[in-house]
Structure 1
Amino acid sequence: MEVKVEQSSAKKLMKALDLLALPRQKRKRLLYRVAASIRQESKRNITQQKTPAGRPWAPRKRGKGKMLRGLKHLVVVSNESDENRAIVAFARGNYHRSHGGVVARVHNDGHKRKVDKRSRLHIRRSKSAGCSRKEAKMLKAFGFKVHASRMNPKAAKGKMRVPTVKWMVQNLSAKEVQYAFHALRKSGQLGTSKNSWEIKLPAREFLGASEARFRKAWERAFQGINYGWKVKAQHMKRRK
């Protein structure tokens, strides 16, 4: 997965490279140095939870923990880089069961996803086979009842009781919870829910560098090729 980083000064600098007519290996080393700097800047942006321009990321909807912390370990300078281009990419490896490049693109650019009731129900059921504590509290508030004999075998036949939250979490099945809420909506006690809705993930840009840091990376790269510019094989290998 390749995620390109566009910088307004890149084209001017590439023209400068043409004018300089650098030898192949020297140009290759120069581009690698710049890409390595952009890689470090991108990792720093994740650490600081800021965009390349220095603006804080959109906060979490819930919680205050740092985001994408493990993703910075997958940012690499691709071994597909050559004397004409250098690519900042993502190494093969899972990040929350997805390719790092896919996660990077979604978070860097932002993402919208439409979810319907059925798919959401499948996600919830896969995480919890029964009744969640939140659902149990709601059912208790609406006076949901079960046969008393389910809680006490000695209870009178046909008697109904409102169970405790703890009992519902431990004993109600997913189908019973689904049926209970369906009955509440049908009776008008609970408002009807949407059949589908949109989940919006805000853009949390981290790939790239500010214009000032980008220029600095080129300046350092030009300084660097004045010595030790011969590219060795280990320099171009993808870091693990």
Structure 2
Amino acid sequence: MARSTFELDARGYLGVREQLALLSLPPQLRRRLLNNVTKRVRTMSRKRARDQQNLDGSPFEARKGPAKGKKKMEAGLAKLMIVTRVSADEAELGWRNALTSWVAAQQHNGVSERRTAAQMRKWNTVPVGLAATEKQAKRLRRLGFKVRQKGKKSLSRPSVAWIQEHVNYSKAGLLIRILGDEKAESSGAQSWEIPLPKRQFIGVSTERDTGLLLNQVLQQILNSPR
């Protein structure tokens, strides 16, 4: 699977003097450094999504199909970004939800990847009160969403009630985007091929910019009262 996370190890970006200063810090301050830098990267990434720009400053490729010209692309994904892992040595920015992370990887890397109904079902555990709305369920049916239901040998279009029972609100929204916005094509009613252009808003533009950001936050921590 293509990756969409931003992973940070400060040791790969600092000069010798800065590296020695970093190593002199206690673990909790090194952790604070990586956490602060990763959150700044999240802010930068969200701004790119708002501005509809890739890492290199180029504009996102426009949508195709019925959603062309509607709400900003990747805005929902950007809002859901969190620091998923942070220690004294490494940090990671991404998404905890498996389906959200997969969709982000598709968008960021522009990789066409086939997903089967069976794989989709593994994500469909719905906590009480978080089910898909009736409107979402009906939209999924119109878009051709199919699954293999218990007791049936072949894939079929589930009922509105089945979708509300097995698909939660956020995942229904992502599935609607996958199946609708980019003209996802049904393949033998068993899987979907999702071709996407690269829309690379996650991370830092260059390694030099990453180093500058790390140094800036490191100096703030070194100069702050402890």
TM-score normalised by structure 2 residue count? 0.54
Counterpart pick for 1:32 among 30, 35, 60:
35
Match of 1:219 in 2: 215
Counterpart pick for 1:51 among 38, 42, 54:
54
Whether 1:210 aligns to 2:205 is: yes
Deviation at 1:199, TM superposition (A): 4.9
| 1-structure distance, mates of 2:28, 2:140 | 57
Match of 1:192 in 2: none
SS of the residue aligned with 2:77?
helix
Unaligned runs of 5+ in 2: 116-138, 145-186
Match of 1:13 in 2: 14
Counterpart pick for 1:42 among 34, 41, 45:
45
Unaligned runs of 5+ in 1: 93-97, 116-123, 130-194, 231-240
| 1-structure distance, mates of 2:76, 2:140 | 28
Structure index of larger Rg? 1
Match of 1:99 in 2: 99
Aligned-residue CA RMSD in angstroms?
A: 3.8
SS of the residue aligned with 1:88?
strand
| 1-structure distance, mates of 2:89, 2:15 | 9
SS of the residue aligned with 2:63?
coil
Report the residue type matching 1:19 in the other structure.
L
Match of 1:175 in 2: none
Given that residues 26 and 229 in structure 1 are in contact (C-alpha distance below 8 angstroms), is that contact kept between their aligned partners in structure 2?
no
Match of 1:22 in 2: 24
| 2-structure distance, mates of 1:101, 1:125 | 20
Given that residues 38 and 209 in structure 1 are in contact (C-alpha distance below 8 angstroms), is that contact kept between their aligned partners in structure 2?
yes
- Pair 112,213 (structure 1): closer, same or farther in 2 beyond 3 Å: same
Q: Which residues in structure 2 correspond to 1:130-145 (within 5 Å)?
A: none
Match of 2:77 in 1: 71
Match of 1:89 in 2: 94
Report the residue type matching 1:13 in the other structure.
L
Given that residues 53 and 209 in structure 1 are in contact (C-alpha distance below 8 angstroms), is that contact kept between their aligned partners in structure 2?
no
Whether 1:201 aligns to 2:213 is: no
Which whole-Å deviations, capped at 9, do the CAs of 1:66-105 have from their partners, x for residues lacking one?
Answer: 2122112111112x3100001112244xxxxx73212111
- Pair 220,36 (structure 1): closer, same or farther in 2 beyond 3 Å: same
| 2-structure distance, mates of 1:99, 1:4 | 13
Counterpart pick for 1:126 among 138, 141, 149:
141
Deviation at 1:18, TM superposition (A): 4.3
- Pair 15,53 (structure 1): closer, same or farther in 2 beyond 3 Å: farther
Match of 1:153 in 2: none
Given that residues 46 and 78 in structure 2 are in contact (C-alpha distance below 8 angstroms), is that contact kept between their aligned partners in structure 1?
yes
Report the residue type matching 1:126 in the other structure.
R
Report the residue type matching 2:20 in the other structure.
L
Where relative contact order (Cα < 8 A, 6+ residues apart) is larger, the structure is: 1
Aligned length: 153
Given that residues 94 and 101 in structure 2 are in contact (C-alpha distance below 8 angstroms), is that contact kept between their aligned partners in structure 1?
yes
| 2-structure distance, mates of 1:56, 1:128 | 28
Given that residues 30 and 222 in structure 1 are in contact (C-alpha distance below 8 angstroms), is that contact kept between their aligned partners in structure 2?
yes
| 2-structure distance, mates of 1:48, 1:69 | 10
